[in-house]
Structure 1
Amino acid sequence: MKFSCLIVFCSLFSSAIFATEKATDCFLSAQITEQHYQNSKEPGLWHFLHLELLELLANTADCKLQLVKVPWSRGLSMLQEGQLDLMMTMSKSPERELFADFIGSHYVEDAVLVLHKDYQTRTQTLADVMWLPGQIGVLREAFYGEEYQRLQQNPDFAKKLLDAKTISHKLGFLERNRVLGVIEDRAQYQEWAKKHPDIARLYSEHLVVNRNPVYFAASRSGMTQQQRDHLRQSWAKVYGSEAHMAILAKYGWSLQLE
């Protein structure tokens, strides 16, 4: 009897060691932008939503999260090269699916054209941007929908776009009066507007450029199919769960297209 108990104990002990080793061996590198480090943790700041969602995925997958602080465009290159495991808030496109495995959506994002109020009557569609007397700030390598992608091929439209490396850099264009507007996620712009009311009163959300789910995207070259499937299955376990919905509700984000 003592011998049997010893065998059971050893078996349980070995399983515990294996589980610990499995968790320790699972490291997940994820891109995070500069803004996440600029403020203390206050409810309502959009960038802490990203942190909590990353932690939810990593904890469910039993992985240790390693945050890599790089601009969006650099993170995209690293993901493609296999130097980075994961990015979030990624819109699907055929080009991106060649190097990124979209393992699950985490919320819906509204990309809006925020425009100076003096120029809104002459801008009824996104294409009208090409007739403005100034530029529009955009995030380098960002995907704002198929119409935007098509218009980018027009030189008259493309020259009206001013690329930014990061979201804070792009919103800084408004602060320095370098652009007539920006294309930005609605919730992120509203968060910025609360902190800069004197500047924000000159602008308003004018057009919805794109509305779509955004995803966790895993590197095809940096992670094996088995590793990516593990993340996909882990996220599926918590997608739409109380934990997921509580995080979204905390920051005022939506899960469904309306």
Structure 2
Amino acid sequence: MPKGVFQFCHILLLCVFTFPALGATSKAASPICAHPLSAGYNDWPPYAWQDRQGVAQGLDVELLRSFAEYLGCEINFINVPAKRSHQMLKSGTLDMMMGATKTFEREEYALFSSPYRHEEVRLFVLDEKKDSIKLSQWQDIFSQKLRLLVPISGWYGADYEQTRERLAQENLLVLSPDVDKSVQMLTYGRADLIIGDAMAMPYIASQHQGIRLSVLNPILDHNQIHLMLSKQSMSVEQLKQFNKAIKVLTNNGEVARIIHKWQQLSLAKQTKISNQQSPIDRQYAGLSSLMFSK
């Protein structure tokens, strides 16, 4: 065989064996989601809740679905109480959670994604009292002797944490088991103010109790919100891929679009409360048609 022909055949054989090998390595690499991922959530509208058909709905649910779709992953949403979901995340029986604030305690058992949205803690009054209660800073609660309603579960910012004992000593602190009960107590005149998430508090008040709240000026806390991935069932590589999805969908405007849609939905629900429906009906009525419109 002529030398030139031999050299050509040698190069051809190298190409035949080399390029398929490169392709095979890519296909053999572990996929981001080798199986459907389980994501825990509890009822916290408008971020997450279970509708009448047992399907997860809400702002955080839609955002996680978008991240998963970008990565080619399937998500199974599991409705579970908050405390139990953290235990399941620790053991690896749950892969992910949404809407999480990063803490040192949680970092012991979870990987935190890049932040994908923000959350504010605000003070609210009944709409009919918005002109009679003026508050520009936290200390006005003490100077004006305003009674504050606080759901027992949640983080409400440094101002509250640092003055909680003083509030109790001056009989200005009224604790309640949850947001629903807090709104009820506010309407019964048990307190002057209520504290909570800037989006969830007025939404739940309007949908569950048919009550309109007005927000006051101070922003008590501003938190970055993350996904939590179980250290037992998820890998650092999977975390990197979810961070990539968050970055891409943030940069192309998809995250902002979804958040804006839910902000508008929340506002619409607060300003148009139907008196012909039960509180439970009000929570879900019309959401299906509004939720997936673009």
> Structure 1 length normalisation: TM-score?
0.67
For residues 139 and 59 of structure 2, what CA distance do their matches in structure 1 show? 29
2:175 equivalent to 1:161? yes
Would you say the 8 A contact 1:84–1:219 is kept in 2?
A: yes
From the superposition, tell whether residues 50 and 139 of structure 1 become closer, same or farther in structure 2 (CA, over 3 Å). farther
Q: Deviations over 1:214-237 (max 9, x none)?
A: 111222344232332332233333
Equivalent position to 1:143, from 147, 151, 155: 155
> Which amino acid in structure 2 is aligned with residue 54 of structure 1?
L
> Which amino acid in structure 1 is aligned with residue 158 of structure 2?
E
* Shift in Å, 1:159: 6.7
> Which amino acid in structure 1 is aligned with residue 228 of structure 2?
A
> Which amino acid in structure 1 is aligned with residue 138 of structure 2?
T
Q: 2:34 — aligned with what?
A: 25
Would you say the 8 A contact 2:40–2:79 is kept in 1?
A: yes
Q: Deviations over 1:7-52 (max 9, x none)?
A: 9xx99xx899869x94772322112223522469xxxxxx522221
Q: 2:99 — aligned with what?
A: 89
Would you say the 8 A contact 2:149–2:173 is kept in 1?
A: no
SS in 1 for 2:251: coil
- Map 1:2-17 → 2, pairs under 5 A: none
From the superposition, tell whether residues 39 and 132 of structure 1 become closer, same or farther in structure 2 (CA, over 3 Å). farther
For residues 245 and 235 of structure 1, what CA distance do their matches in structure 2 show? 11
> Which amino acid in structure 2 is aligned with residue 53 of structure 1?
L
Greater RCO structure (CA 8 Å; 6+ sep): 1
Q: Deviations over 1:58-101 (max 9, x none)?
A: 11222210111013333233334433222222222333333332
SS in 2 for 1:105: coil
Q: 2:122 — aligned with what?
A: 112
2:74 equivalent to 1:60? no
Aligned length: 233
Worse overlay, 230-239 or 66-75:
230-239
Would you say the 8 A contact 1:57–1:231 is kept in 2?
A: yes
* Shift in Å, 1:198: 5.7
Structure number with larger C-alpha Rg? 2
SS in 2 for 1:239: helix
Identity among equivalent pairs (%): 21
From the superposition, tell whether residues 240 and 204 of structure 1 become closer, same or farther in structure 2 (CA, over 3 Å). same
SS in 2 for 1:54: helix
Would you say the 8 A contact 1:60–1:235 is kept in 2?
A: no
- Map 1:105-254 → 2, pairs under 5 A: 105-115=115-125, 117=129, 120=133, 125=138, 128=141, 136-138=149-151, 140=153, 142-151=154-163, 156=168, 160-164=174-178, 170-175=179-184, 177=187, 180=191, 181-195=193-207, 199-200=211-212, 203-206=213-216, 207-252=218-263
From the superposition, tell whether residues 238 and 151 of structure 1 become closer, same or farther in structure 2 (CA, over 3 Å). same
Worse overlay, 178-187 or 62-71:
178-187
For residues 80 and 146 of structure 1, what CA distance do their matches in structure 2 show? 27
- Aligned CA RMSD, in angstroms, stands at 4.2
* Shift in Å, 1:197: 8.0
> Which amino acid in structure 2 is aligned with residue 37 of structure 1?
Q
Q: Deviations over 1:160-205 (max 9, x none)?
A: 43343xxxxx2343136575354222222333354478633xx532
> Which amino acid in structure 1 is aligned with residue 211 of structure 2?
I
Unaligned runs of 5+ in 2: 1-16, 265-294
SS in 1 for 2:116: strand
Q: 2:13 — aligned with what?
A: none
SS in 2 for 1:233: helix
For residues 241 and 156 of structure 1, what CA distance do their matches in structure 2 show? 47
Would you say the 8 A contact 2:180–2:205 is kept in 1?
A: no
Unaligned runs of 5+ in 1: 1-6, 41-46, 165-169, 254-258
> Which amino acid in structure 1 is aligned with residue 39 of structure 2?
A
Would you say the 8 A contact 1:175–1:199 is kept in 2?
A: no
For residues 68 and 85 of structure 2, what CA distance do their matches in structure 1 show? 19
